[in-house]
Structure formats: C-alpha cells, structure tokens
Amino acid sequence: MKIVLTDAQTVVDELVTANCLSEFGEVVSHGLLRYEEVAEAIADADIVLCNKTLLDSHTLRLAKQLKYIGIFATGYNNIDVDYCRAHGITVCNAGSYSTQSVAQQTFALILAHYNQIAAYDRYVKDGRWKRSPTFSPFVYPLNELMGKTLGIVGLGAIGQEVAAIANAFKMRVIGYNRSVKNVPNVEQVSFDRLLSESDIVSVHCPLNADSADLFNKDTFSKMKKGALFVNTARGGVVVEQDLYDALESEHLGGACLDVLRVEPMEEDCILMEAKNCIITPHVAWAPLETRGRLMGIVADNIRNFLNGTPTHVVS
C-alpha cells in the first residue's frame, strides 16, 4: 500500500508524528502541497490522508488506484464526496477527536474577554502596578460568568461539551439546533430568541449551505447590546465586514475568534483592527493530546477499512 500525506505539516511535528501509519505500507509525507502539485503527487496512491487539501475532480483525476481518503479533521467540505462516491473511493473523517480541546479554547477565549487577562498582563509588564496607589487597581472592568446567558448555536458534541462547562460556571444555557436535541440543562430555543437573550453567543455548527454567512448585519443587530460573539467553528459562517461594523459601533461588546474566512489571515483582513476582538490562529484543535488522539483515530480508520469494517464514513 502507498499512503500519501498531502499537508502533513498542518498536523504533525517533532512531538506528534505519523510513525504509526507505517504498519499499513509505504508512507510518503508532503509538508504542504500546492493545489497544482496534488494530482501528480497522489497519482499512484492507494490511500490519501489530508487535512485541508482540496481533493476535487481535478486533483483526483490521475489517482486511478485510490481506494481511501482519510481526513485529519471532522469537517470534510474540502473533499468532493460526489466524485469519490462515483469512483468507489471511501472517505472517512476523524469523528469527535477535538471535542474537549475546542470546548476548552471556547472558554479560554470567553475568560480572556471577561477577565481582561491580556490587558492586565500588559499593565503589570509595563510597570504600572509598581506605580499603583492601591494593591488592586480597577483599571479594566471585570465580569463574572455566573448568571449570564450563554447561547450555543449547534448542539453537537462540541456544543454539548461547552454547555456542560457553562453549567459548572452556573450560567444559564440556551441552544439552537436544526433538529431537537435533549441536552441536560439546556433550553432549546429559536435562533432569534437565542440572539436576543444571550449575553454570549458561541458558534459550534458545521459550515454548509444553511450556515454560510449566518452571522451577518441582520443577525448581529438582533443580538443584545454589549453581547460577546465567539466563533471556534468555521470562518465562513461570519460576514467579517458586518462583524467589524458591529464591533466598531459598540453594539457588540466583543468578539473572540479562532477561525477566519481565509486562513492564514490575509494581509488586509479587516478584523485585525477591530475593537475588542481577540483572535487566535485556528489552534483550538491543536493541543498535543488532541493531535495524538487524532492520529490514533486516523490510523484506526485505516485499519478498520482494510479489515472491511470502515468507521467514520462520510462517503
């Protein structure tokens, strides 16, 4: 078997390796192939493993012996599943490998906003605490989470984990999901009601035709004045100009983002200069333990496929 990794550097490094894949055959690892390089690189592959590489009818056209595509991710919008289905190529994703880490990052962002961690750290490092007349300077306003309403858009595994953490903070939790979900201590409400009642709106839905540009000028206008918007899902659910405008007008009290529409961030990304906007570079899924778990799931998926019992099949 020939196994080709098309964008290995987006997953592995010296701490998390792909060594476990060698049990299945020859492993050819490419750090980060350009789109025009993919077709030739995978032409003789039996298995292709990727994270964000676009595998469409053009990049797959030469891969005549390809039997399996494994994704180092839960989302698979970069794969042409119709083409794969028509050509007998099984596609498997990595399931819920990052549930805990994304929920952790969600609250890291929320706490960074409400506890003003970065601002107070700068205050101290700039020597201002040394010059303070009091031991506890009230320079930046702080807020408790207890009693605040968290609105979760998307009550899948990650959304439910976020809800459980919110419950521990004694928050009120409401949620919106396309289908009814029975989640402990979460009241499922309409999308508009969630927007109007939430102090914090946290997005955990997949990017698809229904969610693309879901958060736009109209959506933000329906949110509470001063509310916090958090997105650790996909950048494509947000119209970034509209988010910028909502922050600049101070209708929103802040935004915390781990994802953008274009990644890496573009030089002229408007959110770079937005008020009260915390941005991390799509690292919610990236803790060492999480990436190790991901590699194990991908290996298990290959093993199960070869044994005739494929798991996490999306096509």
Encoded tokens for 290: 């999480």
Going across the sheet that includes 172-176, the strands are: 187-188, 172-176, 149-153, 200-203, 227-231, 252-257, 277-279
Contacts of 7 (CB under 8 A, 6+ apart): 30, 31, 32, 33, 50, 51, 52, 53
Asked about 263 being catalytic, the answer comes back as yes
Burial class (CB in 10 A: 0-12, 13-18, 19+), 177: buried
Catalytic pick among 30, 113, 204, 234: 234
Beta bridge partners of 255: 229, 277
Rounded CA separation 256/145 (Å): 15
Beta bridge partners of 287: none
Catalytic pick among 113, 282, 291, 312: 282
- What's the longest Cα–Cα distance across the chain? 74
Asked about 312 being catalytic, the answer comes back as no
Contact between 75 and 294 (Cβ < 8 Å)? no
Main-chain phi, psi angles of 90, to 5 degrees: -80, 135
Task: Compute CA distances 29 → 19, 48, 55, 222, whole Å.
Answer: 11, 10, 16, 47
Catalytic pick among 187, 263, 273, 289: 263
Asked about 40 being catalytic, the answer comes back as no
Rounded CA separation 96/60 (Å): 27
Catalytic residues: 234, 263, 282
